[in-house]
Structure 1
Amino acid sequence: MALNTARRTGRRGPRRFTPRDLAVLGTLLGIPLLLDIVVIWGPTLASVALSFTSWDGIGEIRWVGTDNYANLFTGYPPFWPAARHNLLWLAFLGLVATPFGLLLAVLVDRGVRFSRFYQSTFYMPVVLSLAVVGFIAQLVFSRDQGALNAVLGDTGDPTDWLGDPDLNIWMVLLAAAWRHTGYVMILYLAGLKAVDPSLKEAAAIDGAGETQTFFRVVLPTLRPVNVIVGVITVIEALRAFDIVYAVNKGRNGLELLSVLVTDNIIGEAARIGFGSAIAVVLLTVSLGFVVTYLVQEIRGEKTR
């Protein structure tokens, strides 16, 4: 009897990993970690180091200290317009596209007719890359053969939606928001499906209307989704590149920091050190927004 008890007790003890288990575990964890270091952290740290140098990719790497950053902020005219455009992207996606995606999610969640069709229609742009969205924008907003001017009947003196620097940034933002809205809608729709219906019933019993129920009961329960959507919005706004490059290579009113990085690193100038400095600035701004947003959300969770 005691022997059987000891055996049962032994079976309940912690399982020891065999050398084979450790090898498999090390492989499964080691390979992704190695890829993460090689593909993400390696180039990131290399960019930070190269931002303090002057290098054309072929010759000798020469240390220049902070000269690249001084030149970037004081002697490189495209920088500040590109920085303003990136902030405009962030404001437009965060204040227009994201709330509109939330509105669509709420409407679809209420069970309107043909809700599956609406979900598929609104989500369709998400499966397209921003480069493809850029080509679609050209078909719609082109001056001579665009669909928008054809619908407006503006054939005598057509509006140059993509050539006018006062207009093209807004047209491109509309195209980018078209894609971003569907992504946000799907995320919020998944969150709304997970809301406990009893919370809504309790709010209705207390006399709360639909609007009050949403803002005081439903929206606070979507805090985890808000964090995901917020981070995705910041990343999408600051890494934007494909669509403006497909329209006009990111020039004539569509300058972005990501385009400046590409132009300096792989362009004719091949100023890898200077382009790395722009990339470091973009990385710093991105981390600043993301970390600040996450800290605020974590503090909000602790105070609840």
Structure 2
Amino acid sequence: MSSASQAHDPAAAGARTKVPARRRRRMRKMTTRDRIVVALLLGIPLLLDLAFVWFPAIGTVLLSFTKWNGVGSLHTKSCVPNMPSILNNGCVYGVQNYHQAATIYPEFWPAVRHNLIWLAVFVVIATPLGMLFAVLIDRGIRGSRMYQSILFLPVMLSLALVGIIWEFVYSQNYGLINTVIGRNGNDNAIDWLGNPHLNLWAVLLEATWRQAGYVMVLYLAGLKAVDPSLREAALVDGANAWQTFWKIVFPVMRPINIVIMVVTVIESLRAFDLVYITNKGINGLELLSVLVTTNIVGETQRVGFGSALGVVLLVISLVPISIFLYQTFRREESS
């Protein structure tokens, strides 16, 4: 039967209209159940996110304007100047915590500088190194599976175990480095983790060792998702491997680049474990995350002041992420 005859055939037209009608009835019958399922799938993660992320974050911001040691009730009265801190529990302190951190707290600016150095090392060294590993492994070199497992092994280990492993490398008395250079156990042994001029770079080497493997896995996932026809087309056009990667492959991996950028910033600014294991974040290893911990759960227990440091860390982490995402999305809209 031709299409013209079908258009004028009432039976055919009725058959076409009955199927959507049945589907609509089926959808109406499933609407209530679907709404319940959708509500559960969206509601439970949303509640968990609010309970464990947003409420603590908002609470931290509010506590940063108070002077509270974590004991006793929190009142809305103003702090009385020149009064002992034990008598000022639970009072509103305004921006004094931020002012004290920036002016009279000696560890604050060294911690900010060390966090920025940590971020720079991750961006300039760890991320390109992980990308290089991913590109080499993706090319299918001999033993690529073994290399991938070896490079990813530090990511599978806890940061506490990573710190213990590197302790055997850096130790002044029995460390691998001092043994190799012939300074093990004598007066000329280098104190890699105790010297404030060396310990930050020593710990950064540990962190880079682990971060490079993490970035490698993310880039490997991105490289596997690239359409092979793009590389074939570039090869036909006469592009070499370097040009193919930077002109074709790397721009296509923009979503994974965004993820890696965000992960790099977060990992660099929340660094805590390695530093705390080494020397509890003192003597040249001050970091904002360590200062937050020592002020909130340490001996001083200045919850308000520690919360202010946490807010500063949050703002520092949001600035580069926001700028990067803004630039990326603006380029996508203009293209």
TM bin, normalised by shorter chain, reads over 0.9
Partner Cα separation in structure 2 for residue 248 and residue 43 of structure 1: 28
Task: Tell me which of 108, 129, 134 is aligned to 1:100.
Answer: 129
Aligned residue number for residue 25 of structure 1: 38
Task: Tell me which of 199, 202, 209 is aligned to 2:233.
Answer: 202
Report whether the alignment pairs 1:80 with 2:93: no
Report whether the alignment pairs 1:215 with 2:228: no
Report whether the alignment pairs 1:243 with 2:274: yes
Aligned residue number for residue 148 of structure 2: 119
Report whether the alignment pairs 1:234 with 2:265: yes
Partner Cα separation in structure 2 for residue 71 and residue 259 of structure 1: 17
- Alignment gaps of 5+ in structure 1: none
Aligned residue number for residue 65 of structure 2: 52
Aligned residue number for residue 6 of structure 2: none
Aligned residue number for residue 279 of structure 1: 310
Give the SS at the match of 1:13. Answer: helix
RMSD: 1.7
Residues 195/19 of structure 1: CA separation in 2 closer, same or farther (3 Å cut): closer
Residues 10-58 of structure 1, C-alpha deviations (whole Å, 9 max, x = no match): 2232713454443333233222211111111111000000000000111
Aligned residue number for residue 192 of structure 2: 161
Report whether the alignment pairs 1:269 with 2:281: no
Partner Cα separation in structure 2 for residue 174 and residue 201 of structure 1: 38
Partner Cα separation in structure 2 for residue 27 and residue 206 of structure 1: 52
Give the SS at the match of 2:173. Answer: coil
Partner Cα separation in structure 1 for residue 66 and residue 158 of structure 2: 34
**Structure-1-length-normalised TM-score:** 0.95
Residues 245-299 of structure 1, C-alpha deviations (whole Å, 9 max, x = no match): 0111111111100000001001111100000000001011111111111111112
**Structure-2-length-normalised TM-score:** 0.86
Offset of 1:152 from its aligned partner? 2.1
CA contact (8 A) 1:132 1:243 kept: no
Q: Which amino acid aligns with 1:45?
A: I
Report whether the alignment pairs 1:36 with 2:65: no
Aligned residue number for residue 3 of structure 2: none
Q: Which amino acid aligns with 1:269?
A: T
Q: Which amino acid aligns with 1:220?
A: P
- Alignment gaps of 5+ in structure 2: 1-10, 74-89
Q: Which amino acid aligns with 2:62?
A: A
Structure 1 segment 123-202 matched on structure 2, within 5 A: 123-155=152-184, 156=186, 157-202=188-233
Offset of 1:197 from its aligned partner? 2.3
Q: Which amino acid aligns with 1:282?
A: L
Offset of 1:3 from its aligned partner? 7.5
Aligned residue number for residue 83 of structure 2: none
Q: Does 53-62 or 3-12 show the bigger shift?
A: 3-12
Partner Cα separation in structure 2 for residue 301 and residue 6 of structure 1: 42
Structure 1 segment 56-71 matched on structure 2, within 5 A: 56-60=69-73, 61-71=90-100
Partner Cα separation in structure 1 for residue 327 and residue 249 of structure 2: 20
Aligned length: 304
Partner Cα separation in structure 2 for residue 3 and residue 303 of structure 1: 48
Partner Cα separation in structure 1 for residue 38 and residue 238 of structure 2: 55
Relative contact order: is structure 1 or structure 2 higher (C-alpha 8 Å, sep ≥ 6)? 1
